[in-house]
């Protein structure tokens, strides 16, 4: 801008007399701004846009479906979507794009709902694909699905309230009289201001069966008929009864849902044909490609989205020799092939948002449906009473048809016909108008007799309706009958299968662990040290806490497992690689804390199981010993804690690992020693075996310690060795003690 022109503009802006370019700034407290400007907007979003009501619909859904109903699309042929969208704008002023988005989500072609409300023709996209966008509204057609017969049932019988449209030119329903709990059947999500709603869908038939059971017994077990949610995209729910109970009770919580897949050996590919409702094929493929680029997934040659008219399909080409099960377990953990659905059952009740559990939702829907049914019955009752009233007047004419004709013929003015009939037959104005409107050809005895014959049936129907209207139990029976018919008419199989967590193998390939020799030291208080060979050579004396001492030590490898036996008949599994390398001058790792043991639980022993091909011998205070195969402690899943890991009949004293058949030593509290060969013990595969008697003990005495014979020095072995068990052993003589024996068997505590 030239300098002269810029100066002119600046003068205009700074001149307070120039109207529209300089105005006074008004001050307003922020609280007042929030109250007058922000709060109305927030309430409008909550009440009129984002949160569904007890009929399971948001206002945008309701306006669209009601417009289609008024257009005759419940039983008529499909119409262009653009035409439907244009008509809906008479009720919904938010623009054609928003209305068409709503139509797409409710359509069968989009596959977002288990029970779609719109029968669509053309490309409506797919909920499980971000890239498969829907066609423009001028290319697609739609009409209402048959299930909408149950949505609009008796809407013209005063079952719901109507209100003015936004411009006041027509009426629209505040709710739709759904004959089944659509609020549970249709998946729904919305984000309002300061709150949100996330409702998972349930199977229509299971919801109807559950509602029937609830109407009969409000304390019924919901899980008998409604085990879990169901999704239009299928998949598998990783079922946890505790998690599901929390969701059913509070309306909040989450559960895992995973893809379904199959391996095709001929092509060496994995086909993923169902995915979680919370993700899309594009997100999954992008993530797997990204992991491959990062080098975290090396087993895949190629991945393609082969979704077509036959359904969803993600093809994963595998490299030669890849285990498909291990790869899928890995992808489940690293991608949205397994995802979490977070529930937030937030529903509007009388304009107020409430988070409710499934039973409370059924309670509210039942109360609303009972009132809606009562209004319908009352409407039918009034119509029948009005008809009966007219027929009662018609009966009077039977007394003298000629008189009625004469009254009409002899009346000079039309306005006097009705009053003259009222006087002539003693009927009221409504009845007289009805008689006066009968066509001349119908003023005969046959016609009048046929019409008045309905009187008895009407009186019977009225009595039944009045009895039902005044009996809550009968109204419930009406609702149950309707639900049973819906259940039979709209049968849909469950799409989402249930799989229990303990049925899923944990076969994820772990990152390679550095393998090197280490020496393990365990103190009596439960402190563990893992010291490398180099550190051990350079270290001095082992450091322990005051009043603590060494319990045992052994050599191992950093890649090995560790079995930790405790005084609660529990065994904890750990990886030595999970422990930091330490030094002799440090206390080490406190196992009860590291392994999250129960309060007061103490460590008795640790064992390096190697490849789980060997046996261990468990020695108990009562003098028994159990030889157990380490294979009994192998688990398919990556469990850290094994309960009931050994017999609880007597306290555990020692755990001895057998490399081969060898001699074992037992020492009792009365200083008796026994030496026997391990071949006398038979290996058991059950962890809970009580073992067999090894050392015969005197009353009040117990087995105190046990170890390998190679771990001690014993001068006169023949004195203590036995060939059969159980045996009492011999008193340990001072001259038979060795220095190594004293350090292992005679330390205090």
Nearest C-alpha neighbor of 552 from the set 620, 605, 619: 605
Coil, helix or strand at residue 712: coil
H-type alpha helices, 304-357: 324-334
166 is catalytic: no
Q: Which residue has the tokens 């015969």?
A: 696
Characterize the bridge pairing of strands 571-575 and 527-532.
unpaired
Q: What is the Cα–Cα distance from 749 to 746, expressed in whole angstroms?
A: 9
- Residue pair 278/336 in contact (Cβ under 8 Å)? The answer is yes
DSSP 493-560: ---SEEEEGGGS---PPPPPPP--EEEEEEETTSEEEEEEHHHHHH--SPP--TT--EEEEEEEETT-
Q: Write out the H or E segment, with its range, that includes residue 191.
A: strand 188-191
Contact 670, 654 (CB under 8 A): no
Cα-only R_g, the chain? 41
Counting DSSP H helices and E strands in the chain, the numbers are 23, 33
**Which pair of structure tokens corresponds to residue 430?**
């409504």
Q: 236-239 and 346-349 as β-strands: parallel, antiparallel, unpaired? A: unpaired
Which strands, in side-by-side order, build the sheet including 692-693?
A: 652-658, 615-620, 624-629, 692-693
Q: Helices marked H in 251-345 — which ranges?
A: 281-294, 324-334
Burial 280-314 (b: 16+ CB within 10 A, else e): bbebbbebbeebbeeeebebbeebebebeeeebeb
Q: How far is CA 378 from CA 121, 184, 596, in A?
A: 40, 28, 65
Buried-exposed string 318-340: b where 16+ CB fall within 10 A, e elsewhere: beeebebeebbbbbbebbbbbbe
- Does residue 355 contact residue 346 with C-beta atoms inside 8 Å? yes
Which residue has 């994995």 as its token pair? 270
Please state, in angstroms and as integers, the Cα–Cα distance from residue 682 to each residue in 134, 242, 624, following that order: 71, 42, 13
Q: Name which of 306, 308, 256 is nearest 278 in CA terms.
A: 256
User: Which entry of 38, 41, 139, 500 is annotated as an active-site residue?
Assistant: 139
DSSP label of 223: G
Are 442 and 423 in contact by the 8 Å Cβ rule? The answer is no
Would you list the DSSP string of 569-617? S-EEEEEGGGSPP--TTS--EEHHHHTTPPTT--EEEEE--TTS-SEEE
To the nearest 10 degrees (0 to 180), the angle between helices 81-88 and 96-106 is: 120
Under DSSP, is residue 734 helix (H, G, I), strand (E, B) or coil? Answer: helix
Q: Three-state SS across 622-637?
A: CCEEEEEEHHHHCCCC
Phi, psi of 464 (to 5 degrees): -65, -45
Pairing relationship of beta strands 497-500 and 236-239 according to DSSP bridges: parallel
* Cβ–Cβ < 8 Å for 355, 447: no
Query: Which positions are catalytic?
Result: 139
């Amino acid at each position: 801008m030239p300098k002269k022109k810029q100066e002119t503009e600046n003068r205009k802006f700074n001149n307070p007399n120039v109207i529209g370019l300089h105005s006074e700034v008004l001050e307003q407290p922020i609280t007042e701004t929030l109250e007058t400007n922000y709060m109305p907007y927030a309430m409008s979003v909550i009440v009129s846009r984002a949160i569904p009501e007890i009929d399971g619909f948001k206002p945008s859904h309701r306006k669209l479906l009601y417009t289609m109903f008024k257009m005759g699309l419940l039983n008529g042929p499909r119409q262009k979507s653009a035409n439907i969208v244009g008509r809906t704008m008479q009720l919904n002023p938010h623009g054609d794009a928003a209305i068409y988005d709503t139509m797409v989500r409710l359509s069968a072609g989009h596959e977002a709902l288990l029970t779609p409300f719109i029968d669509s023709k053309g490309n409506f996209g797919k909920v499980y694909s971000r890239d498969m966008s829907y066609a423009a509204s001028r290319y697609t057609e739609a009409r209402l699905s048959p299930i909408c017969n149950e949505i609009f049932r008796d809407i013209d019988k005063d079952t719901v309230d109507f209100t003015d449209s936004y411009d006041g030119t027509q009426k629209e329903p505040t709710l739709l009289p759904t004959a089944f709990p659509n609020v549970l059947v249709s998946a729904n999500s919305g984000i309002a201001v300061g709150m949100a709603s996330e409702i998972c869908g349930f199977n229509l038939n299971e919801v109807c069966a559950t509602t029937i059971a609830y109407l009969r017994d409000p304390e019924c077990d919901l899980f008998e008929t409604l085990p879990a949610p169901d999704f239009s995209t299928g998949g598998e729910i990783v079922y946890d009864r505790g998690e599901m109970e929390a969701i059913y009770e509070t309306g909040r919580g989450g559960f895992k849902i995973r893809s379904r897949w199959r391996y095709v050996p001929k092509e060496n590919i994995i086909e993923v044909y169902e995915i979680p409702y919370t993700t899309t094929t594009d997100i999954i493929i992008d993530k797997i490609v990204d992991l491959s680029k990062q080098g975290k997934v090396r087993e895949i040659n190629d991945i393609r989205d082969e979704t077509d008219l036959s359904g969803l399909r993600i093809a994963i080409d595998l490299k030669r020799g890849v285990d498909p099960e291990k790869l899928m377990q890995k992808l489940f953990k690293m991608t949205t092939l397994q995802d979490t659905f977070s529930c937030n059952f937030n529903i509007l009740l009388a304009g107020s948002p409430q988070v409710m559990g499934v039973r409370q939702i059924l309670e509210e829907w039942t109360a609303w449906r009972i009132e809606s049914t009562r209004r319908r019955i009352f409407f039918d009752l009034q119509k029948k009473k009005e008809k009966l009233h007219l027929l009662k007047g018609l009966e009077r004419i039977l007394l003298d048809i000629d008189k009625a004709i004469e009254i009409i013929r002899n009346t000079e003015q039309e306005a006097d016909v009705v009053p003259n009939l009222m006087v002539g037959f003693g009927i009221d104005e409504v009845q007289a108008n009805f008689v006066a409107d009968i066509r001349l050809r119908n003023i005969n005895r046959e016609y009048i007799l046929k019409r008045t014959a309905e009187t008895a049936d009407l009186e019977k129907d009225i009595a039944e309706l009045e009895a039902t209207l005044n009996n809550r139990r009968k109204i419930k029976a009406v609702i149950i009958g309707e639900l049973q018919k819906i259940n039979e008419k709209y049968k849909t199989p469950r799409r989402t299968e249930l799989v229990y967590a303990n049925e899923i193998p944990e076969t994820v390939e772990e990152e390679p662990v550095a393998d090197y020799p280490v020496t393990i030291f365990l103190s009596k208080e439960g402190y563990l040290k893992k010291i490398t060979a180099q550190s051990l050579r350079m270290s001095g004396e082992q450091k322990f806490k005051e009043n603590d001492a060494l319990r045992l030590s052994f050599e191992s490898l950093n890649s090995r497992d560790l079995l930790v036996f405790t005084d609660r008949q529990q065994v904890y599994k750990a990886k030595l690689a999970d422990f930091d390398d330490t030094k002799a001058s440090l206390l080490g790792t406190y196992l009860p804390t590291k392994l999250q043991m129960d309060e007061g639980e103490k460590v008795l022993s640790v064992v390096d199981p190697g490849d789980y091909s060997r046996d261990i011998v468990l020695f108990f205070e009562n003098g028994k010993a159990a030889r157990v195969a380490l294979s009994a402690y192998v688990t398919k899943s990556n469990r850290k804690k094994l309960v009931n890991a050994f017999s609880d009949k007597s306290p555990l004293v020692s755990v001895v690992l057998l490399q081969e058949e060898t001699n074992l030593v037992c020492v009792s509290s009365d200083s008796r020693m026994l030496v026997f060969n391990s071949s006398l013990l038979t290996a058991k595969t059950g962890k809970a075996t009580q073992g067999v008697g090894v050392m015969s003990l005197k009353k009040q005495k117990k087995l105190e310690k046990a170890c390998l014979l190679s771990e001690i020095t014993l001068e006169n072995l023949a004195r203590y060795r036995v060939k059969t068990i159980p045996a009492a052993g011999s008193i340990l003589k001072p001259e038979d003690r060795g220095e190594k024996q004293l350090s292992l068997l005679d330390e205090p505590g």
